[in-house]
Amino acid sequence: MRCFIGIDLGSTTTKAVVMDENLQILGRGITNSRSNYDTAAAVSKQEALIDTRLTLFRRALSNVPEVSGKVDDILSDLERNFRHVQFLEQLEDLQNTCIANIKGPRFAGREKVVIEALEGTFSRLRDSSAAQYAPGVKRKSDFFRDLAGAEFMSHGEAVCKEAGLGFDLILNVYDKSIIEVENRPPAGDMEGKFVRALEKGTMTGSSILAPVQSALAIPLEETYVVGTGYGRVRLPFPKEHIRSEILCHGLGAHMMYPDTRTVLDIGGQDTKGIQVDPVGIVENFQMNDRCAAGCGRYLGYIADEMNMGLHELGPLAMKSNKQVRINSTCTVFAGAELRDRLALGEKREDILAGLHRAIILRAMSILSRAGGVKDQFTFTGGVAKNEAAVRELRKLIKENYGDVTINIDPDSIYTGALGGATFAVRAVVN
């Protein structure tokens, strides 16, 4: 089948969306951009194609009366097993890379024991991985680096202790190797992995196997790919396959909510206020200038300052009932204000609430420069997932523009890629 793909190469994450020619979303994929846009584009695209397969399986299974009501379970089982197969494959790559990296004076005469320690560690990692992919387990991250890294630390330390070997020795090899593995374009043979996943699964009855295999046999033809985001120039596409993220976010927001007139996108590097017409064409836009004050990266910096995960910021800020006033959206100044407030004994949640408000105040300025907020208003980009930012935004939009409809899609992070995929369809179909 013909597939139309949009890839949004953001500074923090790279997203891909696969569409069919009827503008139906078939799959979405995301990965960390890891400063290597080539790999990030390849990974996100592959992830979106995996998701596309799952969509095709769902369609195939929906015609099988025997599995009626069980499709969700079957698919989640299949996906889990697929991810596990994928994880093991990458783990093997990591093990081989680690062993290949054992060289130089540091390891002189100790190669054998270090290899044994690594083999022991990876063997435990393989064993424990099944638990990570067991039904009902919520994984902390979707990225291989995070999942493998955490396990490596605990198993590696134990193995080294038993062998009387310094953990630093294998940790050093791991650090070097994970970067190589992470930056390697993903291995292909997606179909083979699905077959292995099916075999691992508990639901391998022929009523499932046949439709899944027929869905697997459908060729996914990359008809047209459109790239957007700051890394877009890295994509090996001709110029007409590249669209600015402003247009992609405008069109993507329109695809999600056709009545959208104003779009706010807070991305990693910039904030954009965009006005779109009734058919999704961008009419006007304004961006932050000179510095990225108040952008997504600001939150990342604050999270680092507070020694917290980025996703923990919003929930903690929501616990605040007394907002601390933070005036600075300059990332470094805000860091200084934060330390100052902490020193004064203010609560972390109250400071965080103030920081979220500072970001949104900055976004409000960009929105007003772009011509204000019109009904309907759609908030896109990674920060749209942050509940504290959303709370402030709702409050300020209501104060300044009244009761406009505010749309926030759970998949808002894919808005740019969705717009890109739509452009891809248009380039061929229209």
Does 255 interact with other proteins (rule: CB under 8 A)? Answer: yes
Task: Provide CB contacts within 8 A for 168, sequence distance 6+.
Answer: none
Helix (H, G, I), strand (E, B) or coil at 100: helix
Residues shown for the chain:
430
Does 17 interact with other proteins (rule: CB under 8 A)? Answer: no
Among 41, 74, 98, 282, binds other proteins (CB under 8 A): 282
Taken in order 264, 9, 179, 192, the sign of the CA dihedral is: positive
Does 297 interact with other proteins (rule: CB under 8 A)? Answer: no
Q: Binding segment for other proteins among 157-165, 210-218, 281-289, 357-365 (CB under 8 A)?
A: 281-289
Token pair 């942050």 in the structure block, residue: 386
Q: Which of residues 329-358 bind other proteins (CB under 8 A)?
A: none
Rounded distance between C-alpha atoms, residue 42 and residue 154, angstroms:
31
Run of H or E including 362: helix 348-369
Does 396 interact with other proteins (rule: CB under 8 A)? Answer: no
Among 244, 323, 328, 365, binds other proteins (CB under 8 A): 244
Please state the closest distance from residue 16 (CB atom) to other proteins, in A: 19
Does 7 interact with other proteins (rule: CB under 8 A)? Answer: no
Does 138 interact with other proteins (rule: CB under 8 A)? Answer: no
What is the 3 state secondary structure string of 172-205?
A: HHHHHHHHHHHCCCCCCCHHHHHHHHHHHCCCCC
Dihedrals phi, psi of 114, to nearest 5 degrees: -65, -40
Does 422 interact with other proteins (rule: CB under 8 A)? Answer: yes
Q: Which x/- pattern over 182-201 shows residues binding other proteins (rule: CB under 8 A)? A: --------------------
Does 246 interact with other proteins (rule: CB under 8 A)? Answer: yes
Does 46 interact with other proteins (rule: CB under 8 A)? Answer: no
Q: Alpha-carbon Rg of the chain, whole angstroms?
A: 24
Does 205 interact with other proteins (rule: CB under 8 A)? Answer: no
Does 258 interact with other proteins (rule: CB under 8 A)? Answer: yes
Nearest residue to 418 via CA among 145, 17, 15, 12: 17
Please state the closest distance from residue 20 (CB atom) to other proteins, in A: 14
Q: Which of residues 218-237 bind other proteins (CB under 8 A)?
A: 230
Taken in order 280, 285, 291, 293, the sign of the CA dihedral is: negative
Q: In what order do the strands lie in the sheet with 25-32?
A: 25-32, 13-19, 2-9, 221-228
Among 188, 290, 399, 402, binds other proteins (CB under 8 A): 290
Does 363 interact with other proteins (rule: CB under 8 A)? Answer: no
Give, in degrees to the nearest 5, the angle at Cα 18 between 143 and 256. 100
Q: Binding segment for other proteins among 38-46, 181-189, 238-246, 373-381 (CB under 8 A)?
A: 238-246
Rounded distance between C-alpha atoms, residue 126 and residue 401, angstroms:
55
Please state the closest distance from residue 284 (CB atom) to other proteins, in A: 7
Query: How many binding residues for other proteins (CB under 8 A)?
Result: 30
Q: Binding segment for other proteins among 126-134, 206-214, 275-283, 316-324 (CB under 8 A)?
A: 275-283
What's the token pair of residue 288?
Answer: 């932050």
Contact residues for other proteins, defined by CB under 8 A? 23, 230, 243-247, 251, 254-255, 258, 270, 278-287, 289-290, 369, 371, 422, 426, 429-430
